[in-house]
Amino acid sequence: MHDDRSLVEARLRRVLDERIRPAVYPESVPLEVAVWHAPGEPVPVAEGLAAEPEPIEVGARWGAPWGTSWFRVTGNVPRAWAGRTVEALLDLGFDENMPGFQCEGLVYRPDGTPVKGLNPRNQWVRVGAPVEGGEEVRLHIEAASNPVILGYHPFRPTQLGDKETAGSEPQYTLTRMDLAVFDETVWQLVADLEVLGELMAELTLESARRWEILRAVEKALDAVDLQEVNGTAARARSLLEPALSAPAVPSAHRISAVGHAHIDSAWLWPLRETVRKVARTVSNMTALLEDEPDFVFAMSQAQQWAWVKEHRPEVWARVKKAVADGRFVPAGGMWVESDTNMPGSEAMARQFVHGKRFFLDEFGIENEEAWLPDTFGFAAGLPQIITAAGSKWLLTQKISWSQTNKFPHHTFQWEGIDGSRVFTHFPPVDTYNCSMSGSEIAHAARNFRDKGAARRSLAPTGWGDGGGGTTREMIAKAARLRDLEGSAAVVWETPKKFFEQAEAEYPAPPVWVGELYLELHRATLTSQARTKQGNRRSEHLLREAELWSATAAVRTGFPYPYEELDRVWKTVLLHQFHDILPGSSIAWVHREARLTYERIAGELTAIIEAAQRALAGEGTTPLVFNAAPHTRDGVPAGGARTPVTEGRTSLTARPAGGHILDNGLLRIEIDARGLVVSAYDVGADRETVAPGRAANLLQLHPDFPNMWDAWDVDEFYRNTVTDLTDTDEIITGEDGASVRIVRSFGASRVTQVLSLAPGERRLVLDTEVDWHETEKFLKLAFPLDVHAERYASETQFGHFHRPTHSNTSWEAAKFEACNHRFLHVSEPGWGVAIVNDSTYGHDVTRTVRTEDDRGTTTTVRVSLLRAPRFPDLETDQGIHRFRHALVPGADIADAVCEGWRINLPQRPLTGAGEVAPLVTVDNEAVVVTAVKLADDGSGDVVVRLHEAHGGRARATLTAGFEVTGVRVTDLLERPLEGAAAPDLRDGAIELRLRPFELVTLRLRRG
């Protein structure tokens, strides 16, 4: 037989595009359209419906950037259409290639009932099936003219990312507003041909099945009269039936399709627009569930559910019914799909506390999976947090984006720093926006790396990022792929059902230990420094507010601010979303975030001050409140006392130029360039700075990645570096313990104050940068005279080690990584810590010096600032303040302590006298991360703690109040099944912890 494959395939493409798809709507009549443009921000639905619109014609331009327009469409169904299915086709000016990234709408009936959302892949609204003819049609569309930020030429700087700079030029052209007859037979034929055509393209040329499909398609095309498609579609479908009914082979890969609409809580749109995106998507999905009995839809992010409940009660009613039916599924159990690298220990825990509690309170549903398809890598402390929240599974997709190394598994056990393991799945379909195309389904089956041991994967199905969700076309394709020869077998299932089956078929999967590092988007650890600082400071203010409020409530009857803390926590958690905290959203988002963090700081500071005043009482005794988990200057952790400081610091001229700071513990030499050329540990008789090198060295790199500007830093940035060594001035401080250095470079200016306090083994570096560079990367370097093959980096509830070398491609790919409050580099018996108050990104490299010395220099560089121009044209322009400290001679215990210390400055107050801690722990390896009252209002005291040094620990926790009972709980403060109650004697609780173990205790007050 001659090879006519290309001829038939080309014929299929053209006939589908030019004849069959257009025949889905064979007849149409125009609707009358009028529009009212809302001034300013979106208005309530009732106001939009009541507004008086002006006529508008198809073809007219509409929609200023970020505007809202209320369209009213009216008409009558022609009587000649009686007995037929009729739909309204409402095209606001859509580009079908941009679902979720441009204009969208929500359709209402005149009484305000939502019908469904409109987006580029969902332009229809069912009017009747069948109609009687003559019906009046009246619909209202709340249309959002969101501008296209990420266009066909991506990453171009734009002013459209903030309503304050976006202008008023109309963004869209009204394209179609019609009533049309919907021919379901032709629509089904389209689905038949698309599924078979796409499957055919994925089969090998040697496959008999490919040729069987080709011949069936050819016969069907022969049966279609191109001048009478609607009358011949049924005959064509019948000729395809044998090809569509051939069953899948028994060994076919099995795909659990989960309806999905990944909606970024903010990204290329502001938070307020996400509220509406969720409403549109949810309206679509609840409507689709009513029409499609096999379909299952899952939505994560409790915050988004809460938005629907608060802002769209009419949509919420439909959601509750669909959840009760078991087909609209709460997923993930987190407040938002957060970043997991940068949120602190407590914040990461509270993501699950608030997320899971919302779904429990609203629906009685316990989520057992973490659902994070788009998060930019996963911290090594996360498995313990997932298990401590009562969950056991994790789904993500993003690791498939790694540039260098292909992850070796799709289903595996992920082990965290404490030994906790989570059954984890990476969908091999390699997208969280699966559309059920043949190429996606075939790729999932081919790509699955656990063949032979398992044959099941999950496909999140539906348009996402900007929402939209699953379409009826995807459901039609899935129905045909349920049991089809040559294809993986597809079935709609809930995430829970998938994980239960996957776990059962793969009882001993491989284990991956440590972080799940994404080899991409590394610059998200640095972009938008103010957002990151706002997060870090909010986390620590929340710790203080809970600690002092709980202490004051127990001691003085202070009213514990349950509602205020709950609201603030949820706001902070929202801003940890994986495009807000990472700095990859538009300018509008980060402008609002700065204002939000300022407001939060004011609210929390007021709570802290009120609680401390209640504790201190009236008096003139000078007190210092210490919220850190370690004693400081004689002030106990969680208490207040008059501090005790000893020693003095001398400031002298350095003979070779510059200054020397010496407090008897450290001697710091600062040369005439303002660089630290010596940091001598007196007690250890040990130099910290590598010979011939200088610390406190600011380094500037060009920073123009190949794509994803705010997200990425490419390794070639290191090829060019400028050391900032010129100074404008160097001035000694009036306190006799500090040196001030001012530098100018480019259009920017840096002012640093280096200080060495009496009695302390840390050099504090306060850095203020007035930053006006573009496409530059600013680093702060510390070349250390330490031979280290690995270094410690703090993460949630502990730390873990990364190599300093790049022996393999896996190590080389980690050229920019995340830490929380500290980094620690050491040799046996001596080490150095570098701690920070608000930075996350860093790199660590090692070099061997000259043959005469042969020592190893381990260089730690802290990432301070970037200046990408997309999606925020003015990223980080302006003044920034950072605080770091160099701690020579530090072991891990010192690193942990100093990291807390720099983030929780002491608060002075005068009062009646000492304030005893609410709880104390007698082992510094056991760190208390939270002291609070139980969320249920019972008055119980909740204490969360963990082993922080990486070893086993025994400790006694002593309560400073009468305790009548103690229970070990999960993060949601529920008794932990199978956990024995700790020994309680006279308010003392004996604890034994394994390395990095996290424990939550609930203490019942007498």
Question: What amino acid positions are annotated as catalytic residues?
Answer: 374
Q: Compute the Cα dihedral for 292, 297, 302, 307 and give only its sign.
A: negative
The answer to whether the beta carbons of residues 509 and 453 sit under 8 Å apart is yes
Cα(890)–Cα(952) distance, rounded to whole angstroms?
Answer: 20
Q: Return the structure tokens found at 154.
A: 């991506």
Beta sheet of 621-626, edge-to-edge order: 639-641, 621-626, 907-911
Cα(369)–Cα(933) distance, rounded to whole angstroms?
Answer: 27
Cα(291)–Cα(87) distance, rounded to whole angstroms?
Answer: 15
The answer to whether the beta carbons of residues 545 and 604 sit under 8 Å apart is yes
Cα(384)–Cα(390) distance, rounded to whole angstroms?
Answer: 10
**Cα–Cα distance list, 115 to 108, 179, 536, 850, 862 (Å):** 5, 16, 42, 74, 52
Q: Compute the Cα dihedral for 11, 17, 21, 25 and give only its sign.
A: negative
Ramachandran bin of 830, using left for φ above 0, alpha for ψ from -120 to 50, beta for the remaining angles: beta
Q: Return the structure tokens found at 124.
A: 């229809």
Angle ∠(460,466,472) on CA atoms, nearest 5: 55
Cα(800)–Cα(197) distance, rounded to whole angstroms?
Answer: 50
Select from 609, 641, 677 the least CA-distant residue to 912: 641
Burial annotation 703-729 (CB, 10 A radius, 16+ → b, else e): bbbeebbbbbbbeebeeeeeebbebee
The answer to whether the beta carbons of residues 906 and 544 sit under 8 Å apart is no
Tracing tokens 């009695």 back to the chain, one arrives at 759
Q: Return the structure tokens found at 947.
A: 């082993």
Cα(115)–Cα(291) distance, rounded to whole angstroms?
Answer: 13
The DSSP code for 31 is: P
Cα(239)–Cα(320) distance, rounded to whole angstroms?
Answer: 43
Q: Residue 945 — φ and ψ, nearest 5°?
A: -145, 165
Cα(490)–Cα(295) distance, rounded to whole angstroms?
Answer: 12
Cα(478)–Cα(480) distance, rounded to whole angstroms?
Answer: 5
Cα(112)–Cα(106) distance, rounded to whole angstroms?
Answer: 11
Cα(96)–Cα(99) distance, rounded to whole angstroms?
Answer: 6
List of residues 6+ apart from 516 with CB closer than 8 A: 377, 378, 396, 399, 414
Q: Residue 933 — φ and ψ, nearest 5°?
A: -90, 150
Give 626's strand partners: 639
Tracing tokens 């926006």 back to the chain, one arrives at 433
Select from 985, 982, 973, 917 the least CA-distant residue to 954: 982
Angle ∠(151,155,158) on CA atoms, nearest 5: 80
Which DSSP helix (H) or strand (E) runs through 397? none
Task: Give the pairing of strands 856-866 and 822-827.
Answer: unpaired
Within 13 A of 82's CA, how many CA atoms are on the CB side?
A: 5
The answer to whether the beta carbons of residues 895 and 607 sit under 8 Å apart is no
Radius of gyration of the chain (CA): 31
Angle ∠(706,707,709) on CA atoms, nearest 5: 110
Give 768's strand partners: 751, 881
